[in-house]
Every structure is written in C-alpha cells, then in structure tokens.
Structure 1
Amino acid sequence: YGLLNLTRNDAHNSDPRPLEPGRRYRAVIPLNGVAQAFPPGHRIRLSLSTSYWPLAWPPPKPVLLTVHETSSTLTLPVRPVEEPDAVSHEPFGEPEGTRPRPSTQLVAPEERWQVKRDLVDYAAELEIVKDRGTVRIDDIGLDVGRRAYERYTSVAEDFTSATGESAWTMSFSRDDWDVRVETRTVLSCDEGHFRVDATLDGYEGDRRVFSRTWNESVPRDLM
C-alpha cells in the first residue's frame, strides 16, 4: 500500500495547501515493495480510498475525489523474462547470530485482534492485545513482562469521532525487587486540532513512586 496527504503533494513540503475543488492535480504515490508472481490469466486490482483508518488518521471532513483513468498509470517493476528461474549456484551462506539466552515462560502470552461493529449507530471498534506474558532470563534470574493494548473507535460519517488508545505495561523483578512502568495515551480530534492525553506511572511493588500527565492540543494543519 501507499499513503499520500494531497495537501503536501509537492515533495511533502512544509507549507501544506488546501485543494481547490474542481481543479486537477497530478500525484505520484509510491507503493511498498512486495515480491509477487502473477499466474497467467490473473488480474491485478488497484484500490483507491480517501481514508485508511486506523492505519492513517481520517480527514476532518468527508472527501470526494475523482480519478481520471485515461491519464493515470500503474507502474510495476517486472523481472526480465530472460533471467533464469533456477536457483543460483552461489546460495547465501549460513546465517550468523548469537544463541538465545536460556529462559523460562512463567506467564503465558496472549495475542488478540477483535473487530466489533454496531449496525444501529454504525460504530466500529478494533481492539488489539499484544502480551508477551512474563519470561524469566534464567542465568540472571530476572523476570520480564510486557503487555500492549490498543483500541481504535469511530462512528460512520462522523470523521471527528475517531479515537486511538494505547496502553503499555513493562515489568521487571528479581528476588524482592519488583518494578513496573504503565503508560496510557489517547488521541482524539475535532476539525481543527488533535487532542493528546497521556499518563505515565512508575511503581515499586504496589507503591507508585512517579507519575506524570500530559494534556496537549496540536493544530491539525491540514492533516
């Protein structure tokens, strides 16, 4: 896939400009590289969209774009057909790397991707859990835990309803020593600003020893 903010179409300049309705613009959108072989008779489909939530934040208002097919092209790199398909006689050597440190899984990991949709008010939610559980590094007796939680929500055509939340917990313990750090960040918006609300808390055992909060408003600047 590829992403491009058309208000920054001129080499991603630092002076974004709103688009003029009715005017034609020429844009070049590089796509990520991928190795793919297409069997004979198969077709390639190119999908274009004005948003790609939650991978990219939606625009402040609904957008209508017209693509002029006759003056548009999709350029794909093609391997020359004269190159042989046989494996090279000089393959890569054996990969090099250090041996993993011996460890023991104390708490099982968890991974979850859930999509929820409400067909009444057209609310959508994506919930992601990336939890590595707790692992003991055997030779130093250190227990390490990491859990990440993400949640993205939006409501139908209300582009200012988009919200992204990320919460992390990192923990380290050995013998009678036990510390952890918890963070939570929420990003929301209106038509003119992004709103960032974040917290960071540090703990020794069950006692909180550090805490900080951020509440920031950032101009969207045609984002």
Structure 2
Amino acid sequence: EDARSVCFEFEVPQETWVLGRPRVRLRLTSASARGQVIARLCDVGPDGASTLVTRGVLNLSARRGRDQAVPWEPGTTEDVEFELNGIGYAFPPGHRIRLSVSSAYWPWVWPQPGSEAGFTLDPAGSSLELPVRTQESDPSIGFGEAEEAEPLGVVVPVTLDEPRPERLVLRDVAAGTWRLDVDPRYGGTRVYPDGLEFTEEARETYEIDERDPLSARARSTWSVRLHRPDLPWDARVETTSAITCDARDFITSNEVVCRDGDEVVFHRTWEKRIPRTAG
C-alpha cells in the first residue's frame, strides 16, 4: 500500500500518544471532474516495517458536504480537509509517523470511473493535525477487577485440516488482474451444552483489472447451519451476494436459499441498480 502512495514521514523523538481523530488538509489539483483521496497514518519502525494506525477517505465530489455532489472543475486547485477514523495509539521513540496519500484504495474504497481520476498534491499547502494527548495520570482514577459471566461451555471440535490464509492475494501479471480472497474467520462449528451445533462459513472475494476501474467486483458467500443430532432438526441458510458496476450504476445481485435438511423451503433471487449519484 505504501509503495502505491505518496508518503511523508515525521520523526518521533519521544513516545507520542495520539487519541482522537487525526485531520489532514490537502491542496490538490485535479484534471478530472471526479475523484477520491485516501489518507493513511502508519507507524514505521526502525527496521522499515509499516503498521497501519488509522485511515480516512474523501469523495472529492462531497468535499463541501456529504449532502451535495459538486463536480471538480478540471485543472483547478482547491484545499480539502477530512478526518481519519478515531484511534488511540502510542508511537514509540525512534519510530516515524508516516502519512500516505493515494487516489485509490481498492477494495476498501470503490474506484471512481475513468483512468484520469487522479490529482496532483502540493505538500507546501498541505498539513497533518494529530490529536496528541499529554502523558499524565490522575492517581484518584482506578479500575477494579473486570467482571465477566461464566463461560457457556461451548466446544470447538479440533480438525486436522491446515487453516487457509485469512487473506490471499492472487495477481495475474499477464492479464493485469488482481483478486483478494478473504476468510473473515467466522467459520467452523461450535457445539453448545444443550447439543446445538452451530456452523458458520463465509468467503469474500474482490476482483479488479488494474487497467479498468469499472471491472471492480465484490462477492460474498455465507452459510449458517443449526443442527441438533438428537432431534430431527437441521436448518441451513445460504446466501450469495455480488456487486459490480458501470459508469452510471452499482449493480447488486443476491440469492437466498433456506433448507430443512435436504429440502429447499425458500429460494429467492433479485437484482437492483443503484445510481452513482455521488460522482
């Protein structure tokens, strides 16, 4: 991610506590009427390893408020500002604070149509504001032992299968395509004290052709099963959802299948087009 962004770094001479929402002010020149800007705050260690701390995004058409879409006048320069997600973090001494800025961040942010949806950043007119917290403590503030309920006695059966990677990135260099295969780790079977077996499996895939923002596609499959071996009870719900797009709309398709054992008791598919009103 950092290699595909413009990065600015700041030395951390002493431990620095950040608590709240960082804010960036950026001076941008864009040749396109639409676009987006993504800012990420990272902690860079002495060995060069970069750890994501927080991030934020601004649709440039919404730079004057999310309640209105204002196209950018191509070729002009404007100052924009936005907040990053709230964070509590301590930057160790000897590390560096890195601000990374990019015009795309798939699949976290859906790409804008058109290959020209980029910008030029003027560092002299830009700034980063951090909510630094003073390192002080009040001895009158104390916390007792945490209270928690007794465990339910849920059992997770052990399997001999090797766990698949949580995130698997596949790149076809010749075709210029990328695919991110994600296992949210909701999966597996849990057995409750009353004998109920709860099984949940999920898989998410995100695909894109790096030469065509309109090729972006997201797909999610989900399965939830409730099973009681001691009773004639075996219910399962399976869903498949996908999002694609063209220059004007987002296109969603969904399928839901409900089963009682091997019998399908409910099945529905539908599709919806959602206008890209925000530019």
TM-score for the superposition, normalised by structure 2: 0.72
Out of 247, 256, 270, the position equivalent to 1:200 is 256
Q: Residue 48 of structure 1: SS of its match in structure 2?
A: strand
Match of 1:59 in 2: 112
Single out whichever of 89-98 and 58-67 deviates more from structure 2. Answer: 89-98
Q: Residue 67 of structure 1: SS of its match in structure 2?
A: strand
Q: Residue type matched to 1:103 in 2?
A: V
Q: Is the 8 A contact 1:194 1:219 kept in 2?
A: yes
Which structure has more strand as a fraction of its residues?
2
Number of equivalences: 217
Out of 121, 135, 157, the position equivalent to 2:175 is 121
In the alignment, structure 1 residue 75 sits paired with structure 2 residue 126 = no
Out of 156, 169, 172, the position equivalent to 1:105 is 156
In the alignment, structure 1 residue 187 sits paired with structure 2 residue 243 = yes
Task: Give structure 1 stretches of 5+ with no counterpart.
Answer: none
Match of 1:6 in 2: 60
**CA root-mean-square deviation:** 2.0
TM-score for the superposition, normalised by structure 1: 0.89
Out of 160, 168, 178, the position equivalent to 2:222 is 168
Match of 2:143 in 1: 92
Q: Residue 44 of structure 1: SS of its match in structure 2?
A: strand
Higher relative contact order (CA 8 A, sep 6+): 2
Give the C-alpha shift of residue 43 in structure 1: 3.0
Match of 1:23 in 2: 76
Q: Is the 8 A contact 1:107 1:134 kept in 2?
A: no
Give the C-alpha shift of residue 171 in structure 1: 0.6
Give the C-alpha shift of residue 26 in structure 1: 2.1
Q: Which runs of 4+ in 1 moved over 4 A?
A: 87-90, 107-111
Same amino acid, percent of matched pairs: 34
Single out whichever of 110-119 and 154-163 deviates more from structure 2. Answer: 110-119
Give the C-alpha shift of residue 167 in structure 1: 0.7
C-alpha distance after superposition, 1:161-202 (max 9, x if no partner): 110000110110112210000000010011111110110010
